[in-house]
């Protein structure tokens, strides 16, 4: 294989090693179980990434016939919601591993022979291979959310994060004016990140770092969950209906202290870490408590300008594979949780905002909508079907996000009620 093909093969291998590494410590029962109605059985996710790979890297690229037509139903995420998937005739853990290994072998046979023709959009710069690798990493993050919801502890090894430090300023000023939002240059960018377009914003200030557990605890202890003035009407209704009193996985201990459950272990609440497992409504209420607001998606992206490491992240078809420096962002589940605020100063943006990539996904005030000139590619079910006011945009990636996915233009989205995702936020204000 040439250099580009080797780069793409390495990207696929890296995603697969991560997937298997997450599931290998688990029993067959835990891989087949429905740990939460919000999540799929873990073995469904594993076989699904193999089926997605077959769809795009065999059937779309090489025009092969389906390996098992039944998989087109079982592993179609739009035909079966997550809480139905445990009832399907899914492959067992051993069968799923054999199946995805067989698919991967055929994929590499095709990759060795295929021409990565720049005139074919799916193949230009190996786009479809990058799409498949990113898709698997995104499911790995979903599996990490499922593992957090398990009743039993999940065995894992975490590298201790760098120590935090006092921030030079609580906020940074981002001057108004036009900037280019989105991208036409990143070869693996999804359709919803395109096209690049000019957006004008007013002057604003944004928090230097995400809101911490300690800062959010002040909101909890000041009665923030009991004050309807801080909540939108929909948020207050959701808070009452679900009896929300604190972020998911928090627990009040004796003596007024708090702990948090992390992968089955109850630990003292780390006050200097970014808060996570809060829904959009909680973030919105806290921002009012602080006398601020959530940033718009455009404000977030402008404030994040320059936050990525020099030369970019992960895989570049033109420059080969590079491991991201571990001194710039908390990505790829190295720490199995957020790092303390101030731990990654080398990853600061042009304006001085820190930890904008990694640690926690950050809620913005914006609905998930198409950019001007948007074109669906290569299928509408990735982005187009989700556009509208039902979903809020999250930015920046989390500690569980792969460096291959983390970029300042990447757009995530979810319902404003979602808390099982690794989501936090930072606040902004007009100046």
**CATH number for position 27:** 1.20.120.450
Say if 162 falls within a structural domain.
no
Whether 357 contacts 308, CB under 8 Å: yes
Q: Is residue 268 located within the same domain as residue 290? A: no
The CA-atom distances, in angstroms, between 78 and each of 23, 84, 223, 333, 393 are 24, 11, 40, 28, 21
- Residue of 355, 187, 164, 340 whose CA lies nearest to 269: 340
Q: Is residue 228 located within the same domain as residue 251? A: yes
Q: Is residue 175 located within the same domain as residue 134? A: no
Q: Which domain holds residue 29?
A: 3-149
State CA 283 to chain mean position distance.
Answer: 17
Residue 317, pLDDT score: 43
Residue 327, pLDDT score: 79
Q: What Rg do the C-alpha atoms of the chain give, in angstroms?
A: 21
Per-residue pLDDT of the chain (431 residues; tens, 9 = 90+): 689 999 999 999 999 999 999 999 999 999 999 999 999 999 999 999 999 999 999 999 999 999 999 999 999 999 999 999 999 999 999 999 999 999 999 999 999 999 999 999 999 999 999 999 999 999 999 999 999 999 999 999 999 999 999 999 999 999 999 999 999 999 999 999 999 999 999 999 999 999 999 999 999 999 999 999 999 999 999 999 999 999 999 999 988 899 999 999 999 999 999 999 999 999 999 999 999 999 999 999 999 999 964 333 444 444 444 444 567 999 999 999 999 999 999 999 999 999 999 999 999 999 999 999 999 999 999 999 999 999 999 999 999 999 999 899 999 999 999 999 999 999 999 99
Q: Is residue 217 located within the same domain as residue 269? A: yes
Say if 281 falls within a structural domain.
no
- Separation CA 37–CA 40 (nearest Å): 8
Residue 323, pLDDT score: 46
Q: Is residue 253 located within the same domain as residue 309? A: no
Please give the tally of structural domains in the chain: 3
Q: Is residue 43 located within the same domain as residue 11? A: yes
Q: Is residue 190 located within the same domain as residue 128? A: no
- CB crowding 223-235: b at 16 or more within 10 Å, else e: ebbeeeebbbeeb
Say if 354 falls within a structural domain.
yes
Q: Is residue 228 located within the same domain as residue 353? A: no
Residue 316, pLDDT score: 44
State CA 309 to chain mean position distance.
Answer: 18
Residue 254, pLDDT score: 85
- Separation CA 134–CA 190 (nearest Å): 10
- Separation CA 118–CA 123 (nearest Å): 7
| Length of the chain (residues) | 431
Say if 345 falls within a structural domain.
yes
Q: Is residue 232 located within the same domain as residue 348? A: no
Query: pTM of the full predicted structure?
Result: 0.95
Residue 326, pLDDT score: 65
- Separation CA 313–CA 310 (nearest Å): 8
Say if 166 falls within a structural domain.
no
Q: Is residue 128 located within the same domain as residue 32? A: yes
Residue 314, pLDDT score: 41
Say if 280 falls within a structural domain.
no
Helix 93-113 / helix 3-23 crossing angle, nearest 10 deg: 180
Q: Is residue 83 located within the same domain as residue 187? A: no
């Amino acid at each position: 294989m040439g250099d580009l093909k080797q780069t793409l093969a390495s990207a696929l291998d890296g995603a697969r090693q991560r997937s298997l590494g997450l599931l290998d410590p688990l029993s067959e029962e835990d891989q087949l179980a429905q740990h939460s109605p919000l999540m799929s059985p873990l073995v469904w996710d594993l076989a699904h990434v193999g089926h997605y790979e077959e769809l795009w890297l065999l059937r779309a690229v090489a025009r092969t016939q389906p390996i098992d037509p039944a998989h087109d139903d079982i592993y179609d995420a739009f035909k079966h919601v997550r809480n139905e998937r445990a009832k399907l005739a899914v492959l067992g853990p051993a069968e799923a591993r054999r199946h995805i290994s067989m698919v991967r072998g055929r994929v590499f046979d095709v990759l060795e022979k295929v021409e990565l023709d720049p005139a074919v959009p799916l193949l230009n710069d190996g786009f479809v291979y990058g799409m498949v690798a990113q898709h698997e990493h995104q499911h790995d993050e979903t599996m990490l959310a499922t593992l957090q919801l398990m009743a039993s502890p999940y065995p894992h090894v975490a590298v201790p994060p760098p120590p935090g430090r006092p921030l030079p300023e609580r906020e940074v000023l981002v001057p108004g004016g036009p900037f280019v939002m989105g991208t036409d240059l990143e070869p693996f960018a999804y359709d919803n990140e395109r096209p690049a377009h000019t957006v004008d914003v007013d002057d604003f200030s944004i928090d230097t770092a995400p809101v911490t557990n300690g800062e959010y605890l002040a909101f909890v202890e000041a009665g923030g969950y009991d004050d309807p003035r801080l909540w939108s009407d929909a948020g207050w209704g959701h808070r009452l209906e679900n009896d929300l009193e604190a972020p998911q996985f928090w627990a009040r201990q004796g003596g007024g202290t708090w702990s948090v459950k992390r992968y089955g272990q109850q630990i003292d609440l780390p006050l200097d870490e970014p808060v996570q497992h809060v829904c959009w409504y909680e973030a919105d209420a806290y921002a009012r408590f602080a006398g601020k607001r959530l940033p718009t998606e455009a404000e977030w992206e402008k404030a994040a300008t320059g936050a990525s490491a020099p030369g970019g992240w992960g895989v570049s078809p033109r420059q080969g594979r590079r491991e991201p420096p571990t001194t710039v962002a908390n990505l790829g589940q190295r720490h199995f949780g957020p790092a303390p605020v101030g731990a990654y100063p080398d990853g600061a943006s042009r304006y001085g905002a820190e930890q904008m990539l990694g640690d926690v996904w950050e809620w913005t005030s914006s609905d998930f909508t198409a950019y001007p000139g948007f074109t669906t590619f290569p299928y509408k079910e990735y982005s187009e079907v989700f556009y509208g006011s039902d979903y809020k945009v999250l930015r920046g990636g989390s500690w569980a996000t792969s460096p291959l996915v983390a970029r300042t233009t990447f757009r995530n989205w979810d319902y404003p009620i979602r808390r099982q995702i690794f989501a936090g936020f930072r606040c902004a204000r007009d100046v």
